[in-house]
């Protein structure tokens, strides 16, 4: 059976599922993850769509246009548009570190279990994805 599955609240992400299973923990809430290809595709799309959405959200919440962020990154507006495109998938660590510096926040990259990925996917609201700039955080 093939079903379309939307990735949490991230706009536009749909994956296909062709397995049904039961189990404990993350497997009982996401039985489709028993299929390795499916869970790997899900994890990759979570990165591609998640980072694009975070960049756009954080840029907008900081009141920056794509052109203004491009100037901070020493690049063109079209490059920022690509970074905000959930289908782009070409985000390098160097570029992401530059974006974090421009936003005055940290970048966290780490390997996690699928249970942790599942837990993280429950926290995708705009407030959850907004990275507070250091100066704003320090003044609290």
Domain ranges of the chain: 37-138
Q: Cα angle vertex 90, ends 119, 61, to 5°?
A: 60
Output the tens digit of pLDDT for each of the chain's 140 residues. Answer: 333 344 444 444 444 333 333 345 677 788 998 999 999 999 999 999 999 999 999 999 999 999 999 999 999 999 999 999 999 989 999 999 999 999 999 999 999 999 999 999 889 999 999 999 999 999 98
Three-state DSSP class for residue 20? coil
Q: Which CATH number fits domain 37-138: 1.10.260.40, 3.40.50.1370, 1.20.140.10, 1.20.1530.20?
A: 1.10.260.40
Q: Is residue 46 within 8 Å of 54, Cβ to Cβ?
A: no
Q: What DSSP assignment string belongs to 54-104?
A: HHHHHHHHTT--HHHHHHHHTS-HHHHHHHT-TT-----HHHHHHHHHHHT
Does pTM top 0.85 for this prediction? no
Distance in angstroms (rounded) separating the CA atoms of residues 2 and 85:
26
């Amino acid at each position: 059976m093939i079903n379309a599955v939307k990735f949490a609240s991230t706009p536009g992400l749909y994956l296909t599922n062709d397995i049904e299973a039961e189990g404990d923990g993350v497997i009982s809430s996401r039985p489709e993850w028993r299929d390795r290809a499916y869970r790997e595709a899900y994890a990759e799309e979570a990165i591609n769509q998640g980072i694009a959405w975070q960049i756009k959200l954080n840029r907008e919440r900081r009141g920056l246009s794509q052109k203004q962020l491009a100037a901070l990154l020493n690049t063109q507006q079209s490059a920022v548009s690509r970074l905000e495109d959930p289908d782009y998938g070409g985000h390098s660590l160097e570029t992401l570190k530059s974006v974090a510096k421009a936003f005055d926040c940290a970048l966290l990259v780490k390997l996690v279990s699928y249970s942790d990925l599942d837990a993280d996917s429950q926290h995708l609201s705009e407030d959850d994805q907004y990275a507070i700039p250091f100066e704003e955080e320090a003044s609290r």
